Amino acid sequence: MFRQARYDEPLIFEIGRKNTSKSERNNVVPEKISRKKLPEIPSLTEPEVVRHYTRLSQMNYGVDTGFYPLGSCTMKYTPKIVEEIAGFEEVNLHPYQSQSTVQGSLRIMYELEQMLKEIGGVDDVTLQPAAGAHGEFTGMLITRAYHESRNESRTEVILPDTAHGTNPASAHMAGFDVVEIPSEDGMVCLKALKNALSDKTAAFMLTNPNTLGIFEENVCEIAEAVHDAGALLYYDGANLNAIMGKARPGDMGFDLVHFNLHKTFCTPHGGGGPGAGPVGVKSFLRKFLPIPQVEYDEKKYYLNYDKPDSIGKISPFYGNFAVLLKAYVYIKLLGGNGLKNVAELSVLNANYMKEKLKKHYPLPYKNLRKHEFVLAGSELKEKNARTLDLAKMLLDYGLHAPTIYFPHLVDEAIMIEPTETESKNEMDKFIHAMIKISKNPLKNYSPKNTSAGKIDEIGAAKNMILSWKMFKEKK
């Protein structure tokens, strides 16, 4: 099946080639570590390789090919100019370059910090965390450092039952015990919160609007109760898209805020990356931020490592620069009014879809939604199917499935977030498919039209074949 390579042999073949003399090989790599055998890699012709990867790229589904309503993930379209600028030679620099030669990049980072401060209503920002979850972890380390600096031993972090799974994980990783409280009408139950708060509480973590897409209207009372208990209020910024330019977490009383740049400020993501989760804090927490901090002394931009109370380093180098740059370009492109417009349109789109679909799927909480909403797939069960079957059937319509089975408090949850970048036409196609499926859901039927059929998820986990070597060994 595989032929020997026919192209000019690159260095790697030169090293391993049997007919090179020992001295010849020694010129390149010391004998001790030089290859004795040809590397076991498949030999293919160029057209075979090109066709393989082109075919794979065509199997891929992305926001550039279709509607992607993955709730909580804000899979919005990224304008191509953002990608183009991120590819400029001038910004693809080496992290070990001296600071005097990267002033432009440092300025971009500094200005992004300023813009995020303004959007979040916070006093300082670190750009270092590589994802929202990493931002949460950073925020929890800052929370620890803050309470320790006051000689207080606070061991608990409280979360509502709508919290994203990364929240308890981050709190736990930072050494806290997690306390979950119930919701009432899709919002934090204030009474349960007040009962849970004590002198052991380090922080309350909240997403607003929450993962049901509902704005926590008691947020000011929540902030007061949390602060009265001596605890900090943490903002999970994954849903900032719904309110940016309209309301600021800092003004609501949040002390720490993370931004998911890859969600709210576009930058394509998925499959675990790439991302950036900057964290903003109120001034009293500033000294705990990670090092280095990008600063400006009116003459030059520089990296400040001189922060004795800092929680230290949490990322290699200075954060995920390419993502930071894309978010910077996106914010500059839209401007303040543009960001506000994003929030308004994302809310309008979600409510349009909610109104169309609530006649066909139960809508557990009746409140007005922000940028996403959650339906229940419970009635599918009466037809012997489940939300999972619905998700797979949507794939056969050429559509990406919404988020399913999250948040956990909704039975057979279906979480839909259209984002502001979708047209009415695209949303209508999805609504049409959802209505058709609601009438005739088929158990274990789909997907039939996708490049891969039903995936054997257990088999894939138990029988991983991740490399050519593993493939050969399995054969």
Closest CA to 190 of 214, 163, 171, 217: 217
**CB nearer ligand PLP, residue 74 or residue 105:** 74
Rounded to the nearest 10°, the torsion over CA 334, 339, 342, 347 is: 180
Distance CA 235, CA 171 (A): 13
What DSSP letter does each residue of 357-419 carry, written as one string? HTTTS--S--SPPSS-EEEE-GGGGGGT--HHHHHHHHHHTT----EES-STTSTTEEEE---
Which residue among 108, 131, 240, 331 contacts ligand PLP (CB under 6 A)? 131
Report the half-sphere exposure of 43 (CA within 13 A, side-chain side): 13
Distance CA 12, CA 324 (A): 36
**Chain residue whose CB lies nearest ligand PLP:** 132
236 binds ligand PLP (CB under 6 A): yes
**CB nearer ligand PLP, residue 82 or residue 206:** 206
**CB nearer ligand PLP, residue 133 or residue 353:** 133
Phi/psi zone of residue 384: left (φ > 0), alpha (ψ -120 to 50 degrees), beta?
left
User: Among 126-134, 148-156, 310-318, 415-423, which window interacts with ligand PLP (CB under 6 A)?
Assistant: 126-134
CB of residue 242 to ligand PLP, shortest distance in Å = 12
Site for ligand PLP in 194-213 (CB under 6 A): 207, 211
CB of residue 403 to ligand PLP, shortest distance in Å = 9
372 binds ligand PLP (CB under 6 A): no
CB of residue 102 to ligand PLP, shortest distance in Å = 26
**CB nearer ligand PLP, residue 102 or residue 276:** 276
346 binds ligand PLP (CB under 6 A): no
What DSSP letter does each residue of 271-283 carry, written as one string? TTB-----EEE-G
Interface with ligand PLP (CB under 6 A), residue total 14
260 binds ligand PLP (CB under 6 A): yes
Site for ligand PLP in 54-73 (CB under 6 A): 72-73
User: Among 127-135, 175-183, 222-230, 463-471, which window interacts with ligand PLP (CB under 6 A)?
Assistant: 127-135
132 binds ligand PLP (CB under 6 A): yes
Closest CA to 214 of 370, 408, 410: 370
Which of the 8 DSSP states describes residue 270? B
User: Among 119-127, 129-137, 321-329, 414-422, which window interacts with ligand PLP (CB under 6 A)?
Assistant: 129-137
Provide CB contacts within 8 A for 14, sequence distance 6+: 20, 28
**CB nearer ligand PLP, residue 241 or residue 293:** 241
Closest CA to 274 of 330, 327, 342, 329: 327
What DSSP letter does each residue of 280-324 carry, written as one string? EE-GGGGGGSPSPEEEE-SS-EEEE---TTS----SSTTS-HHHH
Closest CA to 403 of 136, 75, 155: 75
CB of residue 74 to ligand PLP, shortest distance in Å = 8
Rounded to the nearest 10°, the torsion over CA 433, 435, 437, 439 is: -150
**CB nearer ligand PLP, residue 253 or residue 407:** 407
User: Among 116-124, 125-133, 151-159, 454-462, which window interacts with ligand PLP (CB under 6 A)?
Assistant: 125-133
431 binds ligand PLP (CB under 6 A): no
Site for ligand PLP in 144-173 (CB under 6 A): 164, 166
Binding residues vs ligand PLP (CB under 6 A): 72-73, 131-133, 164, 166, 207, 211, 236, 238, 260, 275, 277
